Amino acid sequence: MAITTQQLIQWKQQGRSIVALTAWDYAIAQLLDTAGVDLILVGDSMAVVLGYETTLPITLDEMIYHAKSVRRGVKRALVVVDLPFLTYQESLQQAMHSAGRVLKETGAQAVKLEGGYPAIAETIARLVEAGIPVMGHVGLTPQSVHQLGLRQQGKTQEASERILLEAIALEQAGVFSLVLEHIPADLAMQITQKLSIPTIGIGAGTHCDGQVLVTSDVLGLAEKHPPFAKVYTNLRETITKAVQDYAVEVRDRKFP
Ligand SMILES: Nc1nc(=O)c2c([nH]1)NC[C@@H]1CN(c3ccc(C(=O)N[C@@H](CCC(=O)O)C(=O)O)cc3)CN21
Ligand SMILES: CC(C)C(=O)C(=O)O
Ligand SMILES: [Mg+2]
């Protein structure tokens, strides 16, 4: 049975932790869904598997292409798609057009937008009114890398208060869930206690209502990974070994 945004909100009330990971194609999505991942994010972090340094170059067409492939692999998980840099900040019309395309063309159930400043909260409120489920994202917002860098956010009293206020504004705007990225654990706990919607942490400590990581980091496919990621298996080593073994056998005429 497919998971709904309402169900995730119920799970928070029940204290059931939400398991989220990113996916960028059919094969990975199908594996994650079968393994029981609750929420699959087609993150703009797939920039890393496409060979980009930052998430900024990813286009809406690329997100839609990958989201369609992910969607074909998923039966149970909720599928959420990142709106990429400058496909929603320009105007409400632009955000509505981009989010509408994602839902219409990919079959995903929701979109995610970065930021909690007033103009974004206003845009999100209008998307939600139009029937588009939206996930929020505050703390470290990688689309602002050239302003923020990749450092932990919310370290000063002032910054932590601002992030808390953004989280509250996004809940009021109607997000069904909120990503908290690379902020102190005590701030994430405070936000999680304050909100009725589930928080999904990435580098935000243990007190969130769920956790998300980038799948290429978890699988050890990425060349480098953030300090808060945990590498559960090293597929770079596994793949390199398999390919080298194959090459040796072909050159020695042992295979086939
Ligand atoms: N593979 C991958 N995993 C991610 O989690 C991820 C991406 N890519 N791309 C988009 C953003 C970028 N992320 C990152 C990447 C690096 C750091 C990191 O190394 N932070 C250091 C400081 C680095 C610096 O100041 O330049 C830290 O100690 O916080 C943090 C978040 C998280 N997101
Ligand atoms: C890490 C998550 C939250 C994300 O936005 C992404 O993968 O793009
Ligand atoms: Mg993202």
Residues 60-72 pLDDT 10s: 999 999 999 999 9
- State what percent of residues in the chain have pLDDT above 90: 98
- Domain chopping of the chain, boundaries: 5-251
Q: Which of 206, 204, 202 is nearest to 218 (CA)?
A: 202
Query: What is the mean pLDDT of the segment spanning 127-151?
Result: 98
User: Is 160 flagged in the annotation as binding?
Assistant: no
Tell me the backbone φ, ψ of residue 52, rounded to 5 degrees: -90, 155
The reported pTM is: 0.98
- pLDDT tens-digit series, residues 90-102: 999 999 999 999 9
- How much is the pLDDT for 252? 98
19, 38 Cβ separation under 8 angstroms: yes
Q: Provide the 8-state DSSP code for 46.
A: G
E-strand spans in 32-167?
A: 39-42, 78-82, 110-112, 134-139
> Does 5 sit in the ligand 1 pocket, CB within 6 Å?
no
User: Is 90 flagged in the annotation as binding?
Assistant: no
- pLDDT of 77 above 90: yes
181 is catalytic: yes
111, 103 Cβ separation under 8 angstroms: yes
For atom 9 of ligand 1, the residue with the nearest CA is 45
For atom 4 of ligand 2, the residue with the nearest CA is 43
The CATH architecture one would assign to domain 5-251 is Alpha-Beta Barrel (3.20)
Q: Provide the 8-state DSSP code for 142.
A: G
Query: What is the mean pLDDT of the segment spanning 123-148?
Result: 98
- pLDDT tens-digit series, residues 11-49: 999 999 999 999 999 999 999 999 999 999 999 999 999
User: Is 44 flagged in the annotation as binding?
Assistant: yes
- How much is the pLDDT for 1? 80
Query: What is the mean pLDDT of the segment spanning 201-215?
Result: 98
Q: Point out the catalytic residue in the list 181, 223, 237, 249.
A: 181
How remote is the CA of residue 55 from the centroid of ligand 2, in Å?
Answer: 9
Beta bridge pairs of residue 81: 42, 111
Closest ligand 2 atom to Cα of 142: 5
> Does 253 sit in the ligand 1 pocket, CB within 6 Å?
no
How remote is the CA of residue 121 from the centroid of ligand 2, in Å?
Answer: 19
